[in-house]
Amino acid sequence: MSLFGNRKQAVPQAETLGDDAIVVSKLRKTFGDFVAVDSIDLTVKRGEIFGFLGPNGSGKTTTIRMLCGVIEPSGGTATVMGYDICKDPEKVRCNIGYMSQKFSLFQDLTVDENLRFYSGLYGLTAEKYAERRAYILKMADLEGRETELTKNLSVGWKQRLALGCATLHEPKLIFLDEPTSGVDPTARRQFWELLYDLANDGVALFVTTHYMDEATHCNRLAFIYRGDIIAAGTPQEVKAGLAKDTILRLDVDDGEGALAALQGNSAVAEAYMQGASLQVNIGHLSADEADLPAVLGSAGFLVHGVERVEPTLEDAFVHLVTEQGGRA
């Protein structure tokens, strides 16, 4: 069952998306001889949920820091909400919201004190602050907790308060860098429902995530690996590259041991653990031709079941990284 139930249909459809919120052309960032981001191109529409995926160290956060006007690129161009990130970084920062994976609000301040602090940073009038405060407290389900110390809130409430502070000034573009890391499934679902509401109000959302079930609910995705974008498109388009491959899910008594045993097997294109199961791509072979139960059985492993499954985004990601000569 999907983490998000039936809310998938709440994501804005492509035909309802507006003009470009982000336009990136040949954007590049180097640190000495190290190339962190290598001449990438991408666009994000207003009202779009755009997923930016990749392993740690792939260039995700560096890209976000450039797009937020925090660091200058080494080459290329980018506009954010119509402003050049090199010529108008201050205007970029005034027109965006940002929420990081690490909870960055003040733990020893109350909910209200955090909201007032960010209101001052954004220069809201008293009248506008009162309006936005009421909205955020209701949105974040924090009514009645205004005087509670932030450190005493659950992780889910902290997360929603952080989103509220990031949207206090009503930006039309929000960067969310691993916003649900360490959050339980229920709180993640509730948080994404808030993101759907923002997108349906025309706000563009640029989201990095490690959770592939979240990524499937983005309008479009880009996979970045070693500084390069190696795939982009809708979730369906990204998975289409595996449409002709046979993906098997194996229930094995020792999944990690079985995974090691399959290394170098000519029938196996990619293999990795997905939860407690072993996920194996055998390319254009059939399950009978590969006969993995026999292969593993001869190596001393007991296979309890084999099921052919539809390719997932995780399968696509592993496949793309393998094609680049790396490991996910």
Encoded tokens for 36: 């962190």
pLDDT in tens, the chain (328 residues): 344 444 444 445 544 556 999 999 999 999 999 999 999 999 999 999 999 998 888 999 999 999 999 999 999 999 999 999 999 999 999 999 999 866 578 999 999 999 999 999 999 999 999 999 999 999 888 999 999 999 999 888 898 899 999 999 999 999 998 888 777 888 888 889 999 999 999 999 999 987 888 888 899 999 999 999 999 999 999 998 888 899 999 999 999 999 999 999 999 999 999 888 999 999 999 999 999 999 999 999 999 999 999 998 988 988 888 887 765 5
Could you give the strand order of the β-sheet that contains 75-80, starting from the edge strand earlier in sequence? 34-45, 20-31, 75-80, 83-84
Domain at 7-237: CATH architecture: 3-Layer(aba) Sandwich (3.40)
Check for a shared fold between 7-237 and 244-310.
no
* Planar angle of CA 175, 316, 261, nearest 5 degrees: 125
pLDDT at site 183: 77
Structure confidence at residue 204 (pLDDT): 97
Whole-angstrom distance, CA of residue 246 vs CA of residue 309: 8
Domain ranges of the chain: 7-237, 244-310
pLDDT at 2: 45
Say what the pLDDT of residue 186 is: 85
97-99 and 173-177 as β-strands: parallel, antiparallel, unpaired? parallel
Residue 17: its pLDDT value, please?
Answer: 57
Check whether domain 244-310 has CATH 3.90.230.10, yes or no? no
